[in-house]
């Protein structure tokens, strides 16, 4: 049932003009960032050859920043997609249609979550295609590439979970989109937004970017993966409870 809902939601996304535009826009922005990073890297290499200094690292100057920028871009794009999950259905009064089938809140939520993860996988596939083109000219650090893919995917999974929770709270798509956008920025930059001493409030442990540090350098640590898993599970569990309440409030 979960994958059936995921297929249905994915089909709706693929046919929605806004989702198509967002996909093309995201790919275009990532191509632009990738090209700019390559141009800057070539300038650094040219300067290193002139100065006779050591060569700059392709992984540190192109691959890592590319994945970092992709996380920022997706954090700005995902609120538009997560808003359509529930807020738009609440505003258009189409949420009641789910009650005509024997679907539990958890199944509905996980189905929508998986369908949005599919959007992330499409973007990651495009990014891998861009990076793979460099293999014809140089040797790539695939450990860093795989780590970057895992970091991007797990952060997006966490942000989608949070976005679905916000979508459950608001019947207004505009409010849900604004709240999700602010929330995404908060979870990414909480370490820098904290005005208090880190010794009193060690909020860096809640920062999504902070847990991506080792992954973006090609080192996979179980505690980072566990954090993203628990973060996603927490917001999905809360969302499931809110959806259950919404289903009870809908007149039969």
Q: How far apart are CA 65 and CA 181, in angstroms?
A: 22
Instruction: Tell me the HSE value of 83 on the side-chain side, using a 13 A CA sphere.
Output: 20
> Domain count of the chain?
1
Residue 184 has pLDDT above 50, yes or no: yes
pTM reported for the whole predicted model = 0.90
Instruction: Tell me the HSE value of 58 on the side-chain side, using a 13 A CA sphere.
Output: 13
Q: How far apart are CA 108 and CA 162, in angstroms?
A: 16
Per-residue model confidence as pLDDT tens digits over 115-144: 999 999 999 999 999 999 888 878 888 999
User: Domain limits at 145?
Assistant: 2-249
Neighbours of 108 (CB within 10 A): 24
- Structure token digits, residue 64: 């890592």
Residue 252 has pLDDT above 60, yes or no: no
Q: Which residues, in sequence order, are CB contacts of 14 under 8 Å at separation 6+?
A: 20
- Structure token digits, residue 78: 């995902």
Q: Are 250 and 99 in contact (CB under 8 A)?
A: yes
Q: Are 58 and 138 in contact (CB under 8 A)?
A: yes
């Amino acid at each position: 049932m979960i994958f059936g809902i995921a297929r249905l939601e994915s089909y709706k996304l693929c046919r929605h003009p806004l989702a198509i535009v967002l996909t093309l826009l995201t790919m275009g922005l990532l191509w632009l960032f990738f090209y700019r990073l390559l141009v800057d890297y070539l300038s650094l290499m040219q300067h290193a050859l002139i100065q006779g200094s050591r060569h700059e690292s392709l992984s540190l100057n192109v691959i890592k920043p590319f994945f970092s920028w992709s996380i920022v871009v997706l954090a700005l794009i995902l609120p538009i997609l997560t808003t359509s999950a529930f807020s738009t259905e609440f505003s258009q009064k189409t949420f009641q249609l789910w009650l005509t089938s024997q679907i539990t809140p958890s199944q509905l939520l996980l189905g929508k979550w998986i369908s949005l993860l599919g959007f992330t996988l499409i973007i990651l596939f495009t990014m891998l295609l861009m990076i793979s083109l460099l293999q014809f000219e140089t040797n790539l650090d695939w450990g860093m590439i795989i780590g970057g893919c895992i970091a991007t995917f797990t952060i997006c999974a966490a942000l989608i979970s949070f976005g679905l929770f916000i979508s459950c709270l608001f019947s207004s798509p505009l409010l849900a989109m604004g709240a999700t956008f602010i929330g995404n920025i908060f979870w990414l930059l909480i370490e820098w937004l904290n005005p208090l001493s880190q010794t009193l409030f060690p909020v860096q442990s809640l920062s999504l970017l902070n847990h991506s540090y080792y992954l973006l350098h090609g080192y996979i640590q179980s505690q980072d993966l566990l954090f993203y898993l628990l973060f996603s599970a927490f917001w999905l569990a809360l969302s499931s409870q809110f959806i259950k309440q919404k289903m009870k409030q809908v007149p039969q």
